[in-house]
Amino acid sequence: MLQWLSKEAIRRIAIALLILLAAAFPLVSCSGGAGGETDGPSVPGSDPDPGPGGNEEPAPESEPEEVDYASLGVNELGQIMVLMYHQIGPEEAEWVRTPENFRKDLETLYEAGYRLIAVNDLLDGKIAVPAGTTPVALTFDDGTIGHFRYIEKDGQMVIDPDCAVGILEQFAAEHPDFGLAATFYIMYEATIFGQPEYVQQKLNYLAENGFEIGNHTNSHIYPGLRSLSPEEARQELAEHVRLTKEYVPGYEVRSLALPYGSYPDDLSYIVEGSYNGTSYHHAGVFLVGNNPAPSPFHADYNAALLPRIRASELEEYTAGFGINNWLEYFAEHPEERYISDGDPDTVVVPEALKEQVDGAKLGDRKLITY
């Protein structure tokens, strides 16, 4: 299976490269068309200086690279996996992924043509991954030590290469085109990332290095937001935002992961509200299981209730809906997976899916069907 995935990924990448090359060369030879100057063949990469007599204009910036939507299977109405991790620790368990298995997840995703996006970019529909690839977002709940740990090495405190942040950074260094993004849903009535002396340093680090801090309420009170009055819920949500801003001035918390997946019937005060002078607005609210999220341009996309997928392969807990099940599903049903055209300013969908686009969610983006 893995081998099959690898070959499929390689085939797709090869196609994407060929198309990019094909697009790059005609661009040079076509660029002189408007002026009609055809003195001599255009050689790619030759003579970047037009010379004193040269009046040829540079290739128009707006000239889009030709992407063969059909052969790449471009579908920006396809589904997107938002993976949900809890602890990263030494032994695989219901809420624990080992460092080795987390690395394996990254490798498998990379080989199968997935590329990382930040949750906030998903929520904003700003999906900038290369043509032919599929966006995926990583989320970590509860702010435990395996997410972000400092250890001593040669007399210095360094990021543990076996914690989530360390693993992600190492993987991104080896695979720069994979991207680097993850959202950490923390609660303040716990020791954030398990090392009280480093809370400030870690939150600063996340904010400064492209990671996101998300709301997981202030106290993670059992059994979750559904059991609270609206006023108590507002307090839980606003207090998280207030404390995050206290640690990282100016930081805007923009998404919420529901503790225990619990939410009230009335979502309005979960999405936005205020308490004691602190207001919050969640551009996205995430559940606990078990499905990929709709494309942010799909009529079914509901930012107030976005599903995630358990990044576990323990069948007794995933019940056939874990990360590997979905990876297999999308390998078998590539037409259901979000496949990018490489241009975040356009939304490209097969003609047959046109009716499922929610025009109000397109914003300034141009809809292209094929």
Which spans of this chain sit near Zn ion (rule: CB under 5 A)? 141-142, 259
Strand partners, 150: 159
Least spacing, CB of residue 332 vs Zn ion, in Å = 32
Least spacing, CB of residue 257 vs Zn ion, in Å = 7
Do 198 and 206 contact (CB within 8 A), yes or no?
Answer: no
Nearer to Zn ion, 105 or 141 (CB): 141
Least spacing, CB of residue 95 vs Zn ion, in Å = 9
Least spacing, CB of residue 355 vs Zn ion, in Å = 38
Least spacing, CB of residue 264 vs Zn ion, in Å = 17
What proportions of the chain, in percent to the nearest 5, are helix, strand and coil? Answer: 40, 20, 40
Least spacing, CB of residue 351 vs Zn ion, in Å = 42
Least spacing, CB of residue 76 vs Zn ion, in Å = 31
Dihedrals phi, psi of 141, to nearest 5 degrees: -100, 145
Do 254 and 283 contact (CB within 8 A), yes or no?
Answer: yes
Least spacing, CB of residue 216 vs Zn ion, in Å = 6
Nearer to Zn ion, 260 or 321 (CB): 260
Q: Collect all residues with Cβ–Cβ distance below 8 Å to 15 and sequence separation of at least 6.
A: 68, 71, 72, 132
What length is written for the chain?
A: 370
Nearer to Zn ion, 259 or 284 (CB): 259
Q: Collapsing DSSP states into helix, strand and coil, what is residue 55? A: coil
Least spacing, CB of residue 258 vs Zn ion, in Å = 8
Q: How far is C-alpha 303 from the chain's CA centre?
A: 15
Nearer to Zn ion, 95 or 251 (CB): 95
d(CA 56, CA 296): 41
Least spacing, CB of residue 165 vs Zn ion, in Å = 18
Nearer to Zn ion, 79 or 87 (CB): 87
Query: Angle at Cα 294 formed by Cα 340 and Cα 228, nearest 5°?
Result: 140
Q: Which of 149, 12, 77, 27 is nearest to 296 (CA)?
A: 77
Distances in Å between the Cα of 38 and the Cα atoms of 29, 33, 51, 53, 54 are 9, 8, 15, 14, 12
Nearer to Zn ion, 72 or 256 (CB): 256
Nearer to Zn ion, 142 or 236 (CB): 142
d(CA 350, CA 348): 7
d(CA 358, CA 341): 18
**Residue sitting closest to Zn ion (CB):** 141
Other Cβ atoms within 10 Å of 279 Cβ, number: 13
Nearer to Zn ion, 132 or 259 (CB): 259
Nearer to Zn ion, 150 or 184 (CB): 184
329 burial type by CB count under 10 A (0-12 exposed, 13-18 middle, 19+ buried) = middle
Nearer to Zn ion, 259 or 292 (CB): 259
Q: Can you list the positions of beta strands (E) in the chain?
A: 81-85, 87-88, 96-97, 114-116, 134-141, 150-153, 156-159, 183-186, 212-215, 255-257, 272-275, 278-281, 284-290, 306-310, 346-349, 366-369
